[in-house]
């Protein structure tokens, strides 16, 4: 029996307003369920907003409101019987700064696992590293017998991470970005090229590792690129329009055969690759 999975890859204009973000989340989850999605994939920091861009101190983030929204979202997932990948910051009690995290919520509304961004952008004390801690390990989970992995934003620059997941038996990677909230001038001077570079690179990673990849991004103007899904042969299956909120529905079959020119050598190269 072929395995089939329906993805809802989402985008909306993420902001520092947790109530506003929550309204988008709830609306898009409900719409995805109506369109028979099995799992809903959101962008980096989609619940809380992104430190250094949407806000500049965690003091303005009300943890009680965050936790209340998280509870409502988990309850909705359980009621609708749908899986979620949700982006937010998260604290560990022995760390001064939070992580940039993706939470996997199952179709019963339970938090299954959390992935923390490992490769932070910027030099020490700058950009991501000014606000966040680095994660430490890959995370793998299964949905409908499809093995899945997680990556966040800047991690697209490290092909070793995609290969690591391939070696762990992953077939589908959910990659969440926050590449947006640029001025028109910033987009034309840098953001447009960044978006083209990301899409081109990810297509290559998909083809070279024979992976499905779902990419979610903020749609806040100007966004560098829209939400997309790439097939294991590197072709774009579907994508949304940049700067517009939307839900991309993609029906994938991990057992379907696609062109794979590097397949005959993959076992050899994986056996010689040690991510540690």
- Tell me the two tokens of residue 139: 């995370």
Both structure tokens of 269: 């190269």
Tell me 55's DSSP state. Answer: B
User: Tens digit of pLDDT for each residue in 201-219?
Assistant: 999 999 999 999 999 999 9
How many Å apart are CA 245 and CA 8, to the nearest integer?
13
What is the pLDDT at residue 274?
63
Phi, psi angle pair for 21, to nearest 5°:
-60, -40
What is the full DSSP assignment across 162-176? Answer: HHHHHHTT--EEEEE
Q: Domain residues of the chain, as ranges?
A: 5-254
| Pairwise CA distance, residues 161 & 194, whole Å | 19
Alpha carbon distance 116, 80 (integer Å): 26
Cα 181 to Cα 160: distance, rounded to the nearest angstrom: 28
Q: Tell me which residue has tokens 């991501």.
A: 128
Inter-residue contact 156 to 179 (CB < 8 Å) = no
DSSP letters spanning 32-44: HHHTT-SEEE--T
Helix axes 263-271, 159-167, angle to 10 degrees: 90
Residue 150 and residue 103 in contact, taking contact as beta carbons nearer than 8 Å: no
The pLDDT value recorded for residue 108 is 98
Q: Considering just the CA atoms, what is the radius of gyration of the chain in Å?
A: 18
pLDDT in tens, 150-186: 999 999 999 999 999 999 999 999 999 999 999 999 9
Give me the pLDDT at residue 2, please: 72
Mode of pairing for the β-strands spanning 228-230 and 236-239: antiparallel
Of 4, 39, 6, 85, residue with least CA distance to 250: 6
What pTM value is reported for the model?
0.97
Tokens of 145: 């017998």
What's the chain's length in residues? 276
pLDDT tens sequence for the chain (276 residues): 678 999 999 999 999 999 999 999 999 999 999 999 999 999 999 999 999 999 999 998 999 999 999 999 999 999 999 999 999 999 998 899 999 999 999 999 999 999 999 999 999 999 999 999 999 999 999 999 999 999 999 999 999 999 999 999 999 999 999 999 999 999 999 999 999 999 999 999 999 999 999 999 999 999 999 999 999 999 999 999 999 999 999 999 999 999 999 999 998 988 876 655
| Domain at 5-254: CATH architecture | 4-Layer Sandwich (3.60)
* SS3 at position 95: coil
Collapsed DSSP state (helix, strand, coil) of residue 49: coil
Instruction: Point out which residues pair with 113 in neighbouring strands.
Output: 104
> Which tokens hold the place of 202?
């990810």
14, 50 contact by CB (below 8 A):
yes
């Amino acid at each position: 029996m072929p395995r089939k999975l329906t993805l809802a890859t989402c985008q909306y204009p993420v902001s520092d307003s947790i109530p506003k973000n929550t309204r988008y989340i709830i609306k898009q989850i409900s719409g995805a369920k109506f369109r028979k999605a099995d799992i809903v994939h959101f962008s980096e920091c989609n619940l809380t907003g992104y430190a250094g861009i949407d806000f500049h101190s965690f003091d303005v983030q009300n943890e009680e409101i965050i936790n209340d929204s998280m509870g409502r979202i988990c309850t909705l997932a359980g009621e609708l019987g749908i899986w979620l990948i949700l982006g937010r910051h998260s604290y560990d009690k022995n760390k001064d700064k939070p992580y940039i995290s993706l939470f996997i919520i199952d179709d019963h509304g339970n938090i299954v696992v959390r992935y923390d961004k490992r490769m932070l952008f910027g030099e020490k004390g700058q950009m991501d590293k000014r606000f966040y801690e680095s994660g430490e390990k890959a995370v793998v989970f299964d949905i409908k017998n499809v093995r899945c992995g997680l990556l966040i934003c800047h991690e697209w620059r490290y092909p070793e991470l995609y290969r690591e997941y391939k070696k762990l038996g992953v077939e589908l990677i959910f990659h969440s970005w926050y590449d947006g909230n640029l001025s028109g001038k910033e987009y034309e001077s840098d953001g447009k090229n960044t978006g083209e570079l990301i899409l081109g690179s990810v297509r290559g990673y998909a083809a070279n590792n024979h992976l499905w990849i779902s990419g979610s991004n903020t749609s806040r103007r100007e966004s560098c690129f829209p939400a997309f899904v790439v097939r294991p042969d590197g072709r774009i299956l579907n994508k949304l329009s940049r700067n517009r909120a939307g839900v991309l529905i993609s029906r994938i079959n991990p057992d379907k055969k696609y062109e794979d020119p590097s397949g005959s050598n993959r076992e050899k190269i994986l056996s010689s690759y040690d991510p540690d």
